[in-house]
Amino acid sequence: MKIQVIIAALILITLTNCKRRDPLWRTIAYNDQLEQALFSSKIASDNWLMALKRAVKKNGNRREGLESAKRAELLKIRTAELLAEIQKVKTFVQRKRGDGYDVKTGTLKKPLANSKINKQVETIRKKMKNYFNFLKAEYKDFDLEFLDNDQLSAEEVQDEKRFYDVYFRGTSVIEALMSLTHLQFQAMDYERAVAVQLGRRRSTR
């Protein structure tokens, strides 16, 4: 499922269930929904890899199947590494910029504080750029046209200023966290696009 579809659905759910009109509360609620959806996406990714391995084993561990499983594991590892790097920045924003969570309300103490993560954003941009280069090199036998057509992978990560302007310039803590989660979702989308082709490659051999 594309990130745009997920976000649209979450907005609808959040606004439908939200009885308070406080914009900050709606933003916090939406961010919570986004985090839950990301968690579900990670579980689906784990289940996909396990299913692929079971299918390979069921088919007698043929060389082609084992090769697909190996490439799938590498894809999973590299995606997980990127997600972890973004998660580090999210934790930094929550603790250092948002002053941590209020134990009573379970929400950030300073959700509207300035995120101020210029250096961290540049690190993420470089990590994402390296991830896209990895996909193009490791899975060059696949149809990766989506990487060239996608604004994030084809344009935004290539330009330091544009990347920062699009996702983080002038953001509050809660807005920066939403942008970071969005980038994690994007990484999961790219993984899924390659995973689908890995599954097709295995099934046709």
Strand partners, 114: 172
pLDDT of residue 201: 64
- The pLDDT of 110-131, averaged and rounded, is 94
Residue 4 is predicted with a pLDDT of 46
Q: Which residue, 61, 82, 86, is CA-closest to 135?
A: 82
Look at residue 3 and tell me whether its pLDDT is greater than 50: no
Residue 49 reports pLDDT greater than 60: yes
For residues 55 and 131, which has the higher predicted lDDT (pLDDT)? 131
Segment 87-103 shows an average pLDDT of: 95
Residue range 92-102: average pLDDT? 95
| The total number of residues written for the chain in this structure | 205
DSSP 69-126: HHHHHHHHHHHHHHHHHHHHHHHHIIIIIS--B-TTT-SBS-TTSB---HHHHHHHHH
What is the pLDDT at residue 203?
54
Q: Give the pLDDT score at 26.
A: 77
Query: In this model, does residue 19 exceed pLDDT 60?
Result: no
**pLDDT greater than 50 at residue 2:** no
Higher pLDDT pick, 31 / 9: 31
Amino acid at residue number 181: T
Determine contact, residues 66/57, Cβ cutoff 8 Å: no
